[in-house]
Structure 1
Amino acid sequence: MSKNLIQFLLLVSLALSSSCSAVKVEYDANAIIIDGQRKIMNVASIHYPRSTEQYDFSGNLELHKVFQLVHEAGLYGIIRIGPYVCAEWNYGQKEMETFTTKIVNKVKVAKLCAPQGGPIIVAQIENEYGNIVKGYGAAGKKYIEWCAKMAVAQNISVPPMINTCNGFYCDNFKPNNPKSPKMWTENWTVWFKLWGSKDPHRTAEDIAFAVARFFQMGGVLDTYYMYHGGTKLGCTSDGLYITTSYDYDAPLDEFGI
């Protein structure tokens, strides 16, 4: 039986009990393998910076409280370590290596990864770069190679993933490596909101059918994007003409209800 996951954008440290047992995480084309047990995954996305009033890692805003709940609930976690995470968020590119390294080091020191006894089983590298890589020619390929080397150099102890699908439907997606699992890292429950436009909606029946078809066609990991979208009210907008709300018709709305 598969476990659900919570995916976080930009993770930092948490402290786990020394009684947590370490597990080995592997994969093949048909499953995520945790201590020899083959699993398919349903994932719920949450963006920490959109779920707090301040982007702050101190005091009661430390993410260890979140990960304690994740671990206590028997869930696994995925982190998106960059250098670019998209999610209608600024920044990225090579200049983010220092920040990425800092975040990963915090994760390792806090023993958050599954081989250390923590809940994190996968680290996602970059996001949707495959949509534009050809437009940059040799430079685009060089950047992807740099991302891969940077990720390996982090020595994070859990499998990295980069070749994934984002969209409303991913049943026909195939990884570029036949030995890699078919992973849907953003199953768009709807879309972000634009000023002057109607609120987007997607029926639950359409989402359910898309997920069933994805797993029927060999899918291994499906991520509901978003499970809690939150907001950046009082901070910055998400892009040109995009509202600060990131509600996404999520089960938990931007107010946490």
Structure 2
Amino acid sequence: MSKCIQGLSLGVLCLVLVSTISGALSHEGSVALSHEGVGRKQNVTYDGRSLIIDGRRELFFSGSIHYPRSTPDMWPDLIAKAKEGGINVISTYVFWNAHEPVEGKFNFKGRYNLVKFIKLIQKQGLYVILRIGPFIEAEWNHGGFPYWLREKPGIIFRTDNQPFKYYMKRYAKMIVNMMNKNELFAPQGGPIILTQIENEYNNVQQVFKERGADYVQWAGNMALKLNTGVPWIMCKQKDAPGAVINTCNGRNCGDTFTGPNSPNKPSLWTENWTAQYRVLGDPPSQRPAEDLAFAVARWFSKHGTLVNYYMYHGGTNFGRTTSSFVTTRYYDEAPLDEYGLVREPKWGHLRDLHRALKLSRKALLWGTHSNYSLGHQLEARVYQNSEKNVCSAFLANNNTREAATIYFQNVPYYLPPRSISILPDCKTVVFNTKKVNAQHNARTFHHVKDFSKGMRWKMFKDSIPNTEDTPVQNSLLLEHYNATKDTTDFLWYTTNIDVGSNDLPLLNSIKPILQVASWGHAVHGFVNDLYVGSSHGDHVQSPFSLNKPITLKPGKNKISLLSMTTGFPNSGGYMEHKIAGVSKVLIQGLMTGTQDLINNIWGHQVGLLGEKLEVYNPRSSKKVKWVDAKGHDHEPLIWYKQ
């Protein structure tokens, strides 16, 4: 029958729409593995409209949950809460440096038990996107690359470089073989429906010029030859080769994605950022539930069929796994917070959105799309299929400040500012992105015990090494990463200088200045084993400097510097050349002028004594002599225990 769409100021636009769809609101469609389907072999293909599972088109709502950023006992609950929130796919990276910290020695236990994690996902009837990388970025130490890879002769990461390609292929093949052995790909009866090679390479490709373009083609074609049986993707990679699907990352892919690089590939959104990871010093990151819902509704109204929330649960960067300056708390503002608790209204509002989109599934996947302007920044996007007797509409107000009332099929609809209303039957509004019906909650913390009162603390004082006792001594300041080889955050630099009585300032009130330049993240300074001060860089500015007045004595003086890092860089071109550590040391204000210590004999010690003794380990700590900490408040280099 003939129906009309009327805008506020454009008069009437007429088009032919189908009649009301009987029972449309009750049909959500099955977009996850049923319990009966767990273990059933499924063929995964795609076309220009969507991924196709055993000949069936689907809408996919994916959530990123990284297995190393939570504990194994948390995994079942995280997966269950994601499923309850309307998620039917779990996406995860694979973390090379966690699994192969030493070349040829693998770790797939505990938090790194990838196979167990995937099987738990399958057990709850969800699919998996496996982002193999092996470069993952992910605010993860070294972008996932193991340190030993840096030391391979002639290697240059992520370009048309034979050593790098050899190790990358070897690792990717090992992961694929592991998945095959455990029958985890969909054609084997497993849950994995997509695999990813590389990660956001467009961000650095131009740095490597033609070698970058050649590398993209090699990486994609190498992946296609691996035996997965499921499609491969490359995110943010416009020139993804052959059958590899290029996908979008960002906050508003409905507007920023230029589209697949082939009409035979579907539109997939592999990272919809639910907040923002935080670096040290950052305030809490916020992204309203309404903004997230608007972006997702817009994506699906513009031919999108898969969205992945990055992160759905961020979790914790345990130990030394985080990248430079990134906090241990990761995406705490995601729908599931750091502890796996539901964060409302974000979790509930997205759950309601997923339900509304599932009601529109048939029209979205089999309907013909039409777009109609209803006035300035007002539009209707309609999907209909007369053969299947379905019609769904998305009514959008893109104005960020003003609400509007529009007429669609001669019926008025109120649209709040920057909102989309979803009408699964082209008549009934079941969801508006701006109208939040989910409950709100707040997380509070309660002190279980105050450790600062009424408790006797024990202490162990770490030692400052002497130059002559250090294992490495030379006239060069060693580069931090190369010296520590990612085994610790700490590197000692120590040297001795002789100062004559005539070298010191005549007035006691005037003191020489210790000036240190560093490419590390922080440094503590000591003179004659006394603490003189600290300084640090930040996520934006590097290098940084330490400038502190010091007290010197006639004769021999000991200068000690403790260089520290908070993770390796996780991105950028030529990552194998990234450096850290002390680069320059001067003493200014001496009567003889500025003294440059860079050519002194420097001793180097990797790590702290407390680390070597494992004082943090309950068993090992018993072998250490602990003393009463009373009276030692605020002293440097102290380990405390209760």
TM-score by length of 1: 0.87
C-alpha distance in structure 1 between counterparts of 2:122 and 2:265, whole Å: 26
The structure, 1 or 2, with the larger RCO (C-alpha pairs under 8 Å, 6+ apart) is 1
Which of 263, 266, 289 in structure 2 is aligned with 1:181? 266
Q: Shift in Å at residue 235 of structure 1?
A: 1.8
Q: 1:195 to 1:250 in 2, by over 3 A?
A: same
Q: 1:213 to 1:65 in 2, by over 3 A?
A: same
Amino acid at match of 1:243: T
Q: Shift in Å at residue 153 of structure 1?
A: 2.3
Q: SS at the partner of 1:124? A: strand
Q: Alignment identity in percent?
A: 47
Q: Is the 8 A contact 2:247 2:268 kept in 1?
A: yes
Amino acid at match of 1:131: N
Q: 1:237 to 1:21 in 2, by over 3 A?
A: closer
C-alpha distance in structure 2 between counterparts of 1:46 and 1:169, whole Å: 21
Q: Does 1:244 align with 2:263?
A: no
Which of 153, 168, 172 in structure 1 is aligned with 2:225? 153
Q: Deviations over 1:28-83 (max 9, x none)?
A: 11111000101121101011122248864136863333223322222111101113
Range with greater deviation from structure 2 (97-106 or 47-56): 47-56
Amino acid at match of 1:246: Y
C-alpha distance in structure 2 between counterparts of 1:175 and 1:217, whole Å: 13
C-alpha distance in structure 2 between counterparts of 1:248 and 1:134, whole Å: 33
Q: Is the 8 A contact 1:4 1:42 kept in 2?
A: no
C-alpha distance in structure 1 between counterparts of 2:53 and 2:211, whole Å: 36
Which of 44, 49, 55 in structure 2 is aligned with 1:36? 55
Q: What residue is the counterpart of 2:305 in the other structure?
A: 220
Q: Does 1:234 align with 2:319?
A: yes
C-alpha distance in structure 2 between counterparts of 1:218 and 1:202, whole Å: 24
Q: SS at the partner of 2:330? A: coil
Range with greater deviation from structure 2 (221-230 or 133-142): 133-142
Q: Does 1:169 align with 2:220?
A: no
Structure with greater strand percent: 2
Supply the RMSD in Å over aligned alpha carbons.
Answer: 2.4
Q: Shift in Å at residue 131 of structure 1?
A: 2.6
Q: Does 1:118 align with 2:137?
A: no
Which of 121, 130, 145 in structure 1 is aligned with 2:202? 130
Q: SS at the partner of 2:254? A: coil
Q: What residue is the counterpart of 2:42 in the other structure?
A: 23
Amino acid at match of 1:191: Q
Which of 102, 126, 140 in structure 1 is aligned with 2:174? 102
Q: Does 1:208 align with 2:259?
A: no
Q: 1:189 to 1:22 in 2, by over 3 A?
A: same
Q: SS at the partner of 1:103? A: helix
Q: List aligned pairs for 1:77-96, cutoff 5 A.
A: 77-89=128-140, 90=143, 91=145, 93=158, 94=165, 95-96=167-168
C-alpha distance in structure 2 between counterparts of 1:178 and 1:168, whole Å: 24
Q: Is the 8 A contact 1:2 1:41 kept in 2?
A: no
Q: SS at the partner of 1:252? A: coil
Q: SS at the partner of 1:164? A: strand
Q: 1:60 to 1:142 in 2, by over 3 A?
A: closer
Q: SS at the partner of 2:253? A: coil
Q: 1:235 to 1:3 in 2, by over 3 A?
A: farther
C-alpha distance in structure 2 between counterparts of 1:83 and 1:60, whole Å: 18
Q: What residue is the counterpart of 2:281 in the other structure?
A: 196
Q: Deviations over 1:164-215 (max 9, x none)?
A: 1110100131111121111110000011101112111000000000000000
C-alpha distance in structure 2 between counterparts of 1:196 and 1:115, whole Å: 47
The number of residue pairs the alignment matches comes to: 245
Q: Is the 8 A contact 1:24 1:115 kept in 2?
A: yes
Structure 2 unaligned segments of length 5 or more: list them: 1-28, 73-97, 100-106, 146-156, 159-164, 235-245, 342-642
Q: Is the 8 A contact 2:115 2:179 kept in 1?
A: no
C-alpha distance in structure 2 between counterparts of 1:199 and 1:245, whole Å: 11
Q: What residue is the counterpart of 2:339 in the other structure?
A: 255
Q: Is the 8 A contact 1:32 1:39 kept in 2?
A: yes
Q: 1:124 to 1:2 in 2, by over 3 A?
A: farther
C-alpha distance in structure 2 between counterparts of 1:227 and 1:4, whole Å: 17
Q: What residue is the counterpart of 1:51 in the other structure?
A: 70
C-alpha distance in structure 2 between counterparts of 1:213 and 1:190, whole Å: 18
Amino acid at match of 1:227: Y
Q: Shift in Å at residue 149 of structure 1?
A: 2.0
Structure 1 unaligned segments of length 5 or more: list them: 6-18
Amino acid at match of 2:299: F
Q: Is the 8 A contact 2:64 2:312 kept in 1?
A: yes
Range with greater deviation from structure 2 (63-72 or 209-218): 63-72
Q: What residue is the counterpart of 1:71 in the other structure?
A: 122
Range with greater deviation from structure 2 (146-155 or 164-173): 146-155
Q: Deviations over 1:75-113 (max 9, x none)?
A: 111101113222123226333322222111100110000
C-alpha distance in structure 2 between counterparts of 1:236 and 1:72, whole Å: 28
